[in-house]
Structure 1
Amino acid sequence: MFQNLLNSCQNAFFNDILGNWQVHAFDPAKGFSFESMKHNWERNEVGRVRLLTQCRQLYTLSHASLCHQDTVNTSLLAPLFEFIICHYWQDQRWIFSLNDDLDVLDTKTDAYAMAFVLLSFSHYYLATEDKRATQYIKATHDFLQNHMRSEFGGFDECYPLDRQLVRRQNPHMHLLEGYLAAYKATEEPEYKDQIDTLLELARDTFFDPETSTLREFFQSDWSIHPSDGHLIEPGHHFEWIWLLHEANKVSPNPMNLNISKSLWSVASKYGVSDSSGVFNQIHAETYEILDAEKRIWPITEYLKALCVIELKNDEKVKRFEKALAFLKNHYFTNDGRWNEYLDKRDIPKDFPLPGTTTYHIFLGLHEVINWSQTEFTK
């Protein structure tokens, strides 16, 4: 049953969803990915074309070209990379977005988006050996260090600094992901040093040992945000579980694995519905469900966490089967599209197809495929 479900989800994503995106969601003349698509595969103009979206597409196609070669039109890679460096790298830093006509819209430099520059350029380099990618990785790292380091630790949300913004763990989680990829691609010691620094920040600041939860929102000095500090996301708990295990391969530390177990104990108990959907949001102290709707990305992070968390094999396989069945039956459609949101009753909501989502689906299924190949060939 497990293998049949995995094969079905694998075909639905790689052959249908990713195939459709490559055919319909790229501008053939300019080489960029559209920000959003309608369900009839027409471009959905939303007023902006973000660096984040372009980088997530570059990552997905680059990584897939390394591991699932027959599913990727590799001729899309170089034009997309060129589009990114030509349009978003301005005045020696990355800008946030263009408008629908591809004129500059928002010139701030966003820490969250920079994480995906690191991730996507690392995989693009591994896929193409284009050394310019490593040069931009170094320039991105240098800008973060020289212009975005916070006096309280970690990085500012954006440059120029906006002190009104709520500080979040989320950009730092993805920066850890980006630096892990950068270190794997280049073996530069300074990237490993940053991995260690981000892990220390997670242990000391984001992880709350009293509740075994991952806090999301903070004030500038990393104290819990007074109005939003109780809001936590099970999907991010699962994402951190996987990242902590990935980081442990580079920088072993039993404390990181202990934290991953604690995060699992809460997120798997209170963040997953009886049908194996993953709630958007719960309360950090009472574990009450605050948002019972279910976007697609949290269940893909649940799949990744399942790949690494220590469980009895029978329980792990059963959890995989329920989650894959939920993904197949509630999110994937028969016409090569997906449902981005489910309401609290697991009914799909009317919502377009964001260009940022294939990154999540790809990596979730990629990790399960790798796990199954390892587990069933022992």
Structure 2
Amino acid sequence: MSLSSSSPASAPVLAEALRDHFQRVILPLWRGPGFNTALHLPYEALSADGTTPLPVVRYRAMACARQLFVFSEANDAAHAHTLFAALQRHFADPLQGGWFYSVDAHGAPLDTHKDLYTHAFVIFACAHYFARFRNQEARDVLHHTSALVETRFAAPDGLLYAALDRPFAAVTGTPIQNPLMHLTEAWLAARNAAPDAAFDQALSRLGQAIARAFVHAPSGCIAELPLGSADNRLEPGHQFEWFWLVHEARGLLAGSGLDEALERAFDFAQRHGIEHATGGIYAALDETGQVLDGTQRIWAQTEYLRALATRGGEAAHNMLPQQIRRFQARFLHANGWVECRAADGMITRAEMPSTTAYHLTTAYAALPRQALR
């Protein structure tokens, strides 16, 4: 199924075309040329034509985890089992616990620091893998990793450090928004897959801490750095991503004020963060809404689609079909996708990272579906 910029089709029909492209084009890339069959790891990126891996410098645990999520959601048991085994074999730290950030081209540990973003995606991927295939080892991993995060990454005021050295002894990254957002996502997935009051309590504490440290009160936006940090910024894509997370969390974040803040953040990001002629989502704004970075990255476009589909109401309902068409025309092609465009529309990153399939999966899952006949 193909999309036309002049198509009058409804959002469910247009969304089905996106999912069809994903099944026909995207998944085969990462079973085939994007997959190292010797190491059982996804390459970091493929060329724009989808035929050649970029020269290998590293393999990241986060990239493997994201692909584990993608193929679990695709119900590809064989590939998911292979990725789960590879994640443990290459990235689990047998001496200090936790997960290495990366291995080298031969699969040997490369960057051994402990990264909260990475640990969040291990929890997230194992939750989805367990939910789909009921692998008990995955359930054990997600519980163990979650407990480790709460104890070893703990920072003052309910926050968590972004990075620590290999033995968790020295802080190498202070709290920042992005890994905390993905930890929220991971704990939501974990409590859905393996209900446990510990996940609910962790989410409640984290929501309160994020509201105190990151919410820019005038806009409701969640800043990238703690409030008062130099060179802080607001990313429209992250406001749309947070909007979906807070909606999914429902009562778990009650009392934090995040639900009300993200309603206002959605409006702020929609008003200031979109190039309205094309529908492209800018990378970053300042606190007044001025554009700091006009780059349009595919992940931010997918988050806007998901947020529109989630928000509901007549305005979002009417806008969604047009936004799907714009996204398809500007960011998808016969061999895959465009990773980044400049504000003027020029392609600034043509190669396709293995991590992007995660964003496509999450966005497409939220889009409306055609009624069964």
Question: What residue is the counterpart of 2:229 in the other structure?
Answer: 225
Q: Separation in 2 of the partners of 1:152 and 1:121?
A: 28
Q: Which moved more, 1:32-41 or 1:268-277?
A: 32-41
2:318 alignment partner AA: K
Deviation, 1:176, is 0.4
**What SS is found at the alignment partner of 2:121?**
helix
Deviation, 1:46, is 4.3
Confirm or deny: 8 A CA contact 2:154 2:161 kept in the other structure.
yes
2:73 alignment partner AA: H
Question: What residue is the counterpart of 2:322 in the other structure?
Answer: 322
Deviation, 1:310, is 4.3
The runs of at least 4 aligned residues of structure 1 exceeding 4 Å deviation read: 161-164, 249-254
Confirm or deny: 8 A CA contact 1:111 1:157 kept in the other structure.
yes
1:323 alignment partner AA: Q
Q: Write out per-residue CA displacement over residues 224-266 of structure 1, whole angstroms, 9 at most, x where no aligned residue.
A: 212x22x110000000000000011655559332122111110
Question: What residue is the counterpart of 2:211 in the other structure?
Answer: 203
Match of 2:142 among 134, 137, 141: 137
1:125 alignment partner AA: F
Match of 1:189 among 178, 184, 197: 197
Percent sequence identity over matched residues? 24
1:178 alignment partner AA: A
Please give the TM-score of this superposition, normalised by the length of structure 1: 0.89
1:52-67 → structure 2 map (5 Å cutoff): 52-65=62-75
Question: What residue is the counterpart of 1:270 in the other structure?
Answer: 272
Q: Separation in 1 of the partners of 2:185 and 2:353?
A: 21
Question: What residue is the counterpart of 1:282 in the other structure?
Answer: 285
| 5+ residue gaps, structure 2 | 1-8
Q: Separation in 2 of the partners of 1:288 and 1:182?
A: 37
Question: What residue is the counterpart of 1:156 in the other structure?
Answer: 161
Q: Separation in 2 of the partners of 1:143 and 1:236?
A: 26
Q: Separation in 1 of the partners of 2:150 and 2:15?
A: 41
**What SS is found at the alignment partner of 1:105?**
strand
1:306-317 → structure 2 map (5 Å cutoff): 306-312=308-314, 315-317=315-317
Q: Separation in 1 of the partners of 2:310 and 2:29?
A: 31
Q: Separation in 2 of the partners of 1:140 and 1:98?
A: 19
Question: What residue is the counterpart of 2:59 in the other structure?
Answer: 49
2:32 alignment partner AA: V
Q: Separation in 2 of the partners of 1:288 and 1:366?
A: 32
1:324 alignment partner AA: I
Q: Separation in 1 of the partners of 2:300 and 2:203?
A: 24
| 5+ residue gaps, structure 1 | 66-72
Q: Write out per-residue CA displacement over residues 46-83 of structure 1, whole angstroms, 9 at most, x where no aligned residue.
A: 41100000000001111222xxxxxxx43111111011
Question: What residue is the counterpart of 2:244 in the other structure?
Answer: 242
Match of 1:103 among 79, 85, 108: 108
Deviation, 1:14, is 2.2
Question: What residue is the counterpart of 1:24 in the other structure?
Answer: 33
Q: Separation in 2 of the partners of 1:210 and 1:259?
A: 9
Confirm or deny: 8 A CA contact 2:273 2:282 kept in the other structure.
yes
Question: What residue is the counterpart of 1:69 in the other structure?
Answer: none
**What SS is found at the alignment partner of 2:156?**
coil
Is 1:77 equivalent to 2:88 in the alignment?
Answer: no
2:202 alignment partner AA: Q
Question: What residue is the counterpart of 1:360 in the other structure?
Answer: 359
**What SS is found at the alignment partner of 2:124?**
helix
Match of 1:10 among 11, 15, 19: 19
**What SS is found at the alignment partner of 1:290?**
strand
Q: Separation in 2 of the partners of 1:62 and 1:97?
A: 22
Q: Separation in 2 of the partners of 1:297 and 1:242?
A: 14
**What SS is found at the alignment partner of 1:93?**
coil
Q: Separation in 2 of the partners of 1:151 and 1:280?
A: 29
Confirm or deny: 8 A CA contact 1:8 1:328 kept in the other structure.
no
Is 1:170 equivalent to 2:170 in the alignment?
Answer: no
1:321 alignment partner AA: P
**What SS is found at the alignment partner of 1:167?**
coil
Is 1:295 equivalent to 2:297 in the alignment?
Answer: yes
Distance 1:347 1:179, change over 3 A: same
1:339 alignment partner AA: V
Confirm or deny: 8 A CA contact 1:37 1:355 kept in the other structure.
yes
CA RMSD of aligned residues (A): 1.9
Q: Write out per-residue CA displacement over residues 310-338 of structure 1, whole angstroms, 9 at most, x where no aligned residue.
A: 432xx22332122211211011012x311
Distance 1:316 1:210, change over 3 A: closer
**What SS is found at the alignment partner of 1:265?**
helix
Confirm or deny: 8 A CA contact 1:30 1:79 kept in the other structure.
no
Confirm or deny: 8 A CA contact 1:31 1:76 kept in the other structure.
no
Question: What residue is the counterpart of 1:212 in the other structure?
Answer: 220
Confirm or deny: 8 A CA contact 2:63 2:355 kept in the other structure.
yes
